[in-house]
C-alpha cells in the first residue's frame, strides 16, 4: 500500500507537469515495478494478478483526471495572461489616442498607433464621415478596400485562416466606419479596439465641428465689424448728400431732367441711410448695447404709425389691416416694434404678386400678442424658412428676382429676441406666405 501510494504521487506529479501520455507511460512502468519487486512471487512478473490491473486502472484514471485539470488550469492562466496583456494594450491605446493631433487627419495616426501597440501585421480604418480609408502594414492584392467593403456590407467577421478580424464602428447605433486588423488578437480585444476607434473618430469629428463653428463665428464677427464700421463712416457723408439733394429740390430753378436726377439722388440717399441704420441697429442688438424704451403700446396705433411714416407702403391700397381688439396693447419698445412691422410689410410688397392684397393681423393669444403679415407670391423653401432670418442670407429664388441686402429680417429677429419674442414664417404656393411675430404682453429685455 505504501509503495502504491508513492507511485500514485509520482503519476500525479508527471500528469500535472507533462500531461496524460507521459503519465500513462509512467503508470504502466509503475505497475510493472510494483508487480516485479513488491508482489509475490518477488522478482517475477505475474501479470495475471487482478491487483495489477486494478492498480493500472487507478493510475490511468488519476493520470487522466489530473492531466485534464492541469491542461484546464494552463489554458485559464494563458487566457488570463492574454486578457491582461490585451487590457494593458487597450489602456495604452486609449491614453495615446488622447495625445493625437486632432487638427490633422486622424485615420493614418490611429492606424499606425494600433499597429505599434498591438504588434499586428496590418490595420485598415475607414471613416464614413470623411469617406476615406487609411492603412498601416502590408495588405495583399485585392484587400486595398477591405475596411470600406466591411462598412458597405455591414458585416463583421473573423477569418481564422488569415487571422483577419473586421468590425463595424458605431456611434450610438449608427455606423460611422469600419476597422480591419490582421494579427493574433482575441475577439474580445478586437471588439474593444473597435469601440475605442469609434470613440476616437467621434471625438475628432466633434473637435473639427467646434473649430469650424469657431472659425465661422470669427468670420461672422469680422464681417459684422467691417460692415458696422463702414456704416458708421458712410452715414455722415450720406447725411450731407441727402441734405444737399433735398436743398436743391427746395431751391427750385432746375430743369425737368435735372429735377429728376436730383430726386433720384435724394431717394437713393434715403434708402442708403436706412440701410446704414439697420446695420448699426443690428450690431447694437447683437452686442446687447441698446436700451429698450418699454411702454404700453396700442397695436392699432403702432400699425397706423408705420403706414403713415412710410407712404410708399400704403399708397398701393393693397394693405388690409385687421386688429381683433382696438384696445389691444403690448409692453414693448415702440421704435423696435414699428421697425419689425415696417420690414414685414416692405418684404410682403416686394415679394408678392402685383395687385394681390397684403393682410396684416394682430390678436391676443393667451399671454402674448400674435402679429402676422400675409401675402400671395412665390413660396419660400422649407430649408430657407429659418435661414432667411440670418444676416446677409438670401434664398436662391429671390437673389435675382428682387433687390435686397439680407439685413432686414435679421434685424427683425434680433429685435424680437430682445423682447423675449419669436419670429417665423410659413409658406406654400397655394396659400401664400405668412410672417409671424409673437411678443409677450409684458415683454422685458433678456438678461
Q: What is the largest CA-CA distance in the chain?
A: 156
Domain ends where: 212, 247, 278? 212
Q: 342, 315, 313: which is closest to 408 by C-alpha? A: 342
CB 165 within 8 A of CB 181: yes
Domain ends where: 212, 239, 264? 212
| Block residue for cell numbers 429735377 | 259
Is pLDDT at 401 greater than 60 in this prediction?
Answer: no
CA–CA separation, 190 vs 169, rounded Å?
A: 11
Pairing relationship of beta strands 368-375 and 358-365 according to DSSP bridges: antiparallel
Domain count across the chain: 3
Is pLDDT at 141 greater than 70 in this prediction?
Answer: yes
For residue 199, the enclosing domain spans 102-212
Q: Answer yes or no: do 51 and 111 share one domain.
A: no
CB 263 within 8 A of CB 249: yes
Is pLDDT at 434 greater than 90 in this prediction?
Answer: yes
Q: What are the E-state strand segments in 64-203?
A: 122-127, 132-137, 157-159, 164-171, 174-182
pLDDT in the model for residue 446: 43
Q: Answer yes or no: do 376 and 322 share one domain.
A: yes
pLDDT in tens, 368-380: 899 999 999 888 8
pLDDT in the model for residue 155: 86
Q: Is 408 exposed, middle or buried (0-12, 13-18, 19+ CB in 10 A)?
A: buried
In a domain, 263, yes or no: no
pLDDT in tens, 310-330: 766 665 678 889 988 888 888
In a domain, 311, yes or no: yes
Whole-number percent of the chain with pLDDT over 70? 75
CATH number at residue 153: 3.30.450.40
**CA dihedral sign, ordered 345, 349, 353, 356:** positive
Lowest-pLDDT range, 3-7, 102-106, 131-135? 3-7
Rg (CA), the chain: 43
Is pLDDT at 291 greater than 70 in this prediction?
Answer: no
In a domain, 287, yes or no: no
pLDDT in the model for residue 447: 40
Domain ends where: 192, 212, 232? 212
Specify which residues 131 forms β-bridges with: none
Q: Answer yes or no: do 435 and 330 share one domain.
A: yes
Q: Answer yes or no: do 417 and 301 share one domain.
A: yes
Query: What integer is the mean pLDDT of 245-269?
Result: 82
Distinct helix (H) and strand (E) counts, the chain: 12, 12
Q: Answer yes or no: do 428 and 313 share one domain.
A: yes
Distances (CA, A) of 119 to 78, 136, 146: 18, 11, 19
Q: Answer yes or no: do 69 and 137 share one domain.
A: no
Is pLDDT at 351 greater than 90 in this prediction?
Answer: no
In a domain, 32, yes or no: yes
Lowest-pLDDT range, 174-183, 277-286, 355-364? 277-286
In a domain, 317, yes or no: yes
Pairing relationship of beta strands 164-171 and 174-182 according to DSSP bridges: antiparallel
pLDDT in the model for residue 166: 93
338 or 35, which is more confident: 338
39 or 237, which is more confident: 237
In a domain, 58, yes or no: yes
Q: 125, 175, 172: which is closest to 152 by C-alpha? A: 175
Amino acid at each position: 500500500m505504501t509503495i502504491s501510494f508513492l507511485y500514485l504521487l509520482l503519476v500525479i506529479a508527471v500528469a500535472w507537469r507533462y500531461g496524460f501520455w507521459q503519465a500513462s507511460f509512467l503508470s504502466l512502468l509503475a505497475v510493472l515495478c510494483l508487480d516485479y519487486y513488491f508482489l509475490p512471487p518477488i522478482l517475477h512478473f505475474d501479470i495475471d494478478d487482478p491487483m495489477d490491473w486494478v492498480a493500472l486502472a487507478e493510475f490511468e484514471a488519476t493520470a487522466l483526471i489530473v492531466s485534464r485539470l492541469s491542461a484546464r488550469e494552463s489554458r485559464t492562466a494563458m487566457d488570463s495572461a492574454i486578457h491582461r496583456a490585451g487590457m494593458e494594450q487597450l489602456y495604452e491605446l486609449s491614453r495615446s489616442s488622447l495625445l493625437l493631433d486632432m487638427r490633422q487627419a486622424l485615420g493614418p495616426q490611429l492606424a499606425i498607433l494600433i499597429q505599434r501597440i498591438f504588434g499586428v501585421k496590418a490595420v485598415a480604418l475607414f471613416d464614413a464621415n470623411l469617406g476615406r480609408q487609411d492603412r498601416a502594414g502590408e495588405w495583399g492584392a485585392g484587400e486595398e478596400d477591405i475596411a470600406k467593403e466591411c462598412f458597405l456590407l455591414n458585416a463583421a467577421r473573423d477569418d481564422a485562416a488569415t487571422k483577419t478580424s473586421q468590425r463595424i464602428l458605431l456611434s450610438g447605433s449608427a455606423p460611422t466606419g469600419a476597422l480591419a486588423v490582421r494579427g493574433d488578437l482575441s475577439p474580445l480585444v478586437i471588439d474593444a479596439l473597435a469601440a475605442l476607434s469609434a470613440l476616437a473618430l467621434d471625438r475628432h469629428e466633434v473637435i473639427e465641428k467646434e473649430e469650424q463653428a469657431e472659425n465661422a463665428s470669427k468670420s461672422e464677427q469680422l464681417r459684422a465689424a467691417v460692415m458696422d464700421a463702414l456704416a458708421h463712416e458712410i452715414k455722415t457723408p450720406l447725411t450731407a448728400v441727402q441734405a444737399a439733394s433735398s436743398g436743391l429740390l427746395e431751391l427750385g430753378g432746375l430743369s425737368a431732367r435735372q429735377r429728376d436726377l436730383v430726386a433720384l439722388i435724394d431717394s437713393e440717399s434715403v434708402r442708403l441711410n436706412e440701410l446704414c441704420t439697420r446695420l448699426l441697429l443690428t450690431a447694437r442688438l447683437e452686442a446687447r448695447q441698446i436700451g429698450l424704451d418699454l411702454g404700453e403700446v396700442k397695436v392699432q396705433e403702432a400699425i397706423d404709425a408705420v403706414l403713415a411714416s412710410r407712404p410708399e407702403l400704403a399708397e398701393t391700397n393693397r394693405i388690409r389691416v385687421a386688429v381683433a381688439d382696438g384696445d389691444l396693447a403690448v409692453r414693448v419698445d415702440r421704435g423696435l416694434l414699428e421697425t419689425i412691422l415696417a420690414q414685414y410689410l416692405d418684404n410682403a410688397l416686394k415679394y408678392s404678386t402685383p395687385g394681390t392684397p397684403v393682410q396684416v393681423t394682430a390678436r391676443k393669444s393667451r399671454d402674448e400678442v400674435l402679429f402676422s403679415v400675409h401675402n400671395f407670391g412665390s413660396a419660400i423653401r422649407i430649408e430657407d424658412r429659418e435661414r432667411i432670418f440670418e444676416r446677409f442670407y438670401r434664398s436662391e429664388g429671390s437673389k435675382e428676382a428682387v433687390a435686397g441686402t439680407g439685413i432686414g429680417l435679421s434685424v427683425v429677429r434680433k429685435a424680437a429676441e430682445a423682447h423675449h419674442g419669436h419670429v417665423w414664417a410659413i409658406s406654400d404656393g397655394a396659400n401664400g406666405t405668412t410672417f409671424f411675430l409673437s411678443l409677450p404682453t409684458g415683454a422685458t429685455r433678456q438678461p
